[in-house]
Amino acid sequence: MTPTGPFTSAFKGRRVLVTGANGFLGSHLAETLLACGAAVRVLVRRPLALPASLAKKVEVIEGDIRNADAVDRAVQGCSHVFHIAALYRDSSAPKQAYWDINVAGTENVLNACEHHRVERLIHCST
C-alpha cells in the first residue's frame, strides 16, 4: 500500500534521517518514508539488526545517539529528522543509561539539527 496525501508530498525527494530504525516504530516509519519517495538514512547501533529488506533500501550510519559526532554525521544533509531512538522497558538498565540515551542523546540530536539547519525535527517517545 502506497501512502497518499500530504505526508507523501512532504517527503518526496527529501533526505530524511530516522534514529532508532531497528525498533518496531522506527523500521515501519522508514518503510513508509521510502514508499513516499524519501531518501532515507538511518542511525543505528547495530546495522546487522535491521530487517534485511530495509537495510538494502536505506543509507545506514552506524552509531549511537550518545555520541555527538555520530549524530552530527547522520544529520548532515538531511532536511527532516525523526528521532525515535530511546531506552525503555529495560528494568535491568541502570538509571544513568536512561538519562544518557533519552536526555543526553536527544540533546545531541537537537544540537546536530540546529547545527545543520534541519527544516524539521519530529521527536517521538514512548
Query: pLDDT of 29-51, one tens digit each?
Result: 999 999 999 999 999 999 998 98
Reply yes or no on whether the pLDDT at 2 is more than 80.
no
Using a pLDDT cut of 90, give the percent of the chain over it: 73
Q: Could you tell me the pLDDT band of residue 7, with boundaries at 50, 70 and 90?
A: low
Residue with more model confidence, 5 or 125: 125
Q: What is the pLDDT of residue 125?
A: 77
CA 97-99-100 angle, to 5 degrees, is 65
**Residue among 40, 92, 86, 89 nearest 66 (CA):** 86
Q: Could you tell me the pLDDT band of residue 9, with boundaries at 50, 70 and 90?
A: confident
d(CA 92, CA 124): 23
